[in-house]
Amino acid sequence: MSDRNRLPAGAAVLASVVGALAGPAALAQQGAGVLEEIVVTAQKRAEDLQTVPIAVTALSGGDLAANGIVNLQQIRGFVPNFTLDEALGSVTTPKMFMRGLGVDNQVFSFETPIGLYVDGVYMARVTGAMIDVFDVERIEVLRGPQGTLYGRNSSVGAIRILTQPAPLDETEFKADLTIGSKNQRNARLVFGAPLVDGKFGARFAFNTRNNDGWQREVTTGRRAQAEDINAFRAALRYVPNENLELTLRGDYMRDHSATRSGSNFRINPDNDLYTFEESPASTPINEVEPWGLSATLDWSGGAFNLTSITAYRELKYRNAGDVDGRADVRSFEVDRQDLDQWQLTQEIFLTDKGDGPLKWVAGAFFLREHNEFHWALRIFAPPPTQHFDQDTDSYAPYAQVTWPVNDRLSLTGGLRYTYEKKEIDVTQNLADGTPNPAFNFTGTKKAEKTNYRLAVDFKATDATMMYASAGTGFRSGGFNGSARDVASVLGGSFGPEDATMYEAGIKSDLLDRRLRLNLGYFYSDYENLQQAVVRSDGTISTSNVNATVHGLELEMQAALSERWQLSGTLGTMHDDIEDSLLELKQTPALQARLGTTYRVPLAKGALRLGGDVSYSSKHHNNSENYAATLVDSHYLVNANVAWESADGHWTTMLAGYNLTDEFYPIHGFDIAGGFISSVLFTNTPRRWAFTVEYRM
């Protein structure tokens, strides 16, 4: 066995603690406590989490608040075999990987294999999608191919974010202020009220997040990795009768945070990776502005339920900066990276009324997307600028049926057919701004895919359900959106990536619902896996490989008493790339987390104590497996203490994150042995935050 697949001693101890603290003996010695039922809509219907034959992690708004989670990135430890960091250029762009698949480049041509949905609306671009989780009702993370119900680019999973609905009966008001490290200044405001009692309501939410930055340029003192984010969300909800509901939503975010900069690890005079050098001639830019409108119609009259989700979204992204970590050269510098994108989506689906033996859903999805991308990469000399125009059309009908064979055994089958077409036009302007007549390319890619899901679940006892499934999914192919010559546009093009996954698991609520254990094993086979590879000239291309990943996943919750709860996750991954000695990036052999909350009643209110420790074994964060950018094994420790007033109106919380100040690189380059670039992009160091919240 390789060192990478050997269980580290510290992690073995952590895994043992998870099992020991959740064991029946530990629970038997405590007072009564009951875990709440968790309702999810992972199969497009409301169901108890423990009855859904899918690996799903669900976090309620209360879970997010109790753990001091303000941003989507902070859920990473709560989901087995899942990593989530900030991408290179923007603090609001996620770098997500699950079970060995993901994307770490926000170029328009690279799709994510983890579908992201906000209130049922599919987000085609992940740029700007690392949202603050304010006024969120629930987050559901579905692991494994979601090729039947969620389709394109959900080949390894999906993340569903559901915001709070507009109230119809009572006025709601909530506001909080946060101060913290590096002059952190956050504010959130939520207001909802019925406009016509029982029929028409509105909800508004505003969020702002700012700080002075975690990185410093050594010569000028310019701060990087600094936050400057404002977001707004609004919803109108109309319920004229018990059979009809219409919700209109709108959202806008403005992220003008300072860019994240790389620190040169070969030439680093002060030996501090949170300082960096940049060329005086460079102009760092980061502007991310997504907005969108949607309309959701739910109708429950007649023989079935109907849901229609219509949405339009736009995204503006501007990015530039020095990526070689040196002030004396301009060897690797993004002069321009501009994206203008819009998308129109329509989904309509029908579900059964729940009064018959079969559970079924049938629907259709349509996407029209346009991307306009301008890209200029300086490698020692003034660069040409490439212009890409790409249109995408995608159509997909789908259906899934669950048949209860008897009171305990059910069979599920689903199919989805997808037709997709991408058309691209590429031109180039030379460094002096004149058009290059030799650089002109027009191309089309088409794909037709049929994905399936088969599952069987068996209710062994009233508290235990076992399931097994096989399913497929795909990630769209495309053209090389980082190309600087026509040959690279074609040579870097890639076909669809296919995923086939087999899974078996058990979900159980034990000891009178005081202990929840969900355990699963998966085996995934990836064909034509799309790997972003940095070439020797600094440009990014795509290689296709075949690979397998398999592992275990455990989720645990335990109510040790009415006051004390534990939670934990554990995930293992073992990967193998066909005919290669390289390892898949972002596939640590072991990840684990153990968290706790304890509530202490007081004369005036209550005190809530919380904290967690998570572990990740060493792994690579790039396809080239650079030794210098290896992520070493590390622990992350968070803790918080909160006071809640007796009337429930006031809450204060002091939270600390990464308390042991662990360092690990979230990305890195080591191009041409450092001749072009040798930089690391750092995680966020130790920090604290103090929050005061009032709710009516």
Which tens digit of pLDDT belongs to each residue from 414-436? 999 999 999 999 999 999 999 99
Q: Which of 77-91, 366-380, 597-611 has the lowest mean pLDDT?
A: 77-91
Check whether domain 3-695 has CATH 1.10.1760.20, yes or no: no
Q: Which residue has the higher pLDDT, 106 or 625?
A: 625
Whether 536 shows a pLDDT value over 80: the answer reads no
Mean pLDDT of the chain: 91
pLDDT band at 315 (very low <50, low <70, confident <90, very high): very high
Q: Which of 96-110, 158-172, 410-424, 618-632 has the lowest mean pLDDT?
A: 96-110
Query: Per residue in 202-229, is it b (16+ CB within 10 Å) or e — as a string?
Result: bbebbbbbbbebbbbbbeeebbbbbbbb
Q: Which of 8-12, 270-274, 483-487, 543-547 has the lowest mean pLDDT?
A: 8-12
Partners of 498 in the β-ladder: 474, 527
Q: Which of 131-135, 281-285, 342-346, 508-512 has the lowest mean pLDDT?
A: 131-135
Domain ranges of the chain: 3-695
Whether 347 shows a pLDDT value over 90: the answer reads yes
Whether 627 shows a pLDDT value over 50: the answer reads yes
pLDDT band at 21 (very low <50, low <70, confident <90, very high): very low
What is the structure's pLDDT at 32? 59
Tell me how far apart the alpha carbons of residues 325 and 678 are, in angstroms, rounded to a whole number.
7
Contact yes or no for 559/33 (Cβ under 8 A): yes
What is the structure's pLDDT at 1? 37
Whether 557 shows a pLDDT value over 60: the answer reads yes
User: Residue 79: what are its φ and ψ, rounded to 5°?
Assistant: -120, 125
pLDDT band at 29 (very low <50, low <70, confident <90, very high): very low
Tell me the mean pLDDT in the region 560-567.
95
Tell me the mean pLDDT in the region 269-277.
88
pLDDT band at 27 (very low <50, low <70, confident <90, very high): very low
pLDDT band at 28 (very low <50, low <70, confident <90, very high): very low
pLDDT band at 140 (very low <50, low <70, confident <90, very high): very high
Q: pLDDT tens, 214-246?
A: 999 999 999 998 999 999 999 999 999 999 999
Whether 8 shows a pLDDT value over 60: the answer reads no
Tell me the mean pLDDT in the region 361-367.
97
- Judged on CB neighbours under 10 Å (0-12, 13-18, 19+), 340 is middle
**End-to-end CA gap in the chain:** 58
Contact yes or no for 513/541 (Cβ under 8 A): no
Tell me the mean pLDDT in the region 685-693.
97
Tell me the mean pLDDT in the region 503-518.
96
Tell me how far apart the alpha carbons of residues 220 and 333 are, in angstroms, rounded to a whole number.
18
Tell me how far apart the alpha carbons of residues 203 and 164 are, in angstroms, rounded to a whole number.
9
**Beta strand pairing call for 114-118 and 157-163:** parallel
Q: What is the pTM of this model?
A: 0.93
What is the structure's pLDDT at 17? 41
pLDDT band at 26 (very low <50, low <70, confident <90, very high): very low
Q: pLDDT tens, 639-649?
A: 999 999 999 99
Q: Which two tokens stand for residue 199?
A: 């029929």
What is the structure's pLDDT at 670? 87
Whether 25 shows a pLDDT value over 50: the answer reads no
Whether 533 shows a pLDDT value over 70: the answer reads yes
Q: Which residue has the higher pLDDT, 392 or 16?
A: 392
Residue 486: Cβ within 10 Å count: 15
What is the structure's pLDDT at 538? 61
Whether 14 shows a pLDDT value over 50: the answer reads no
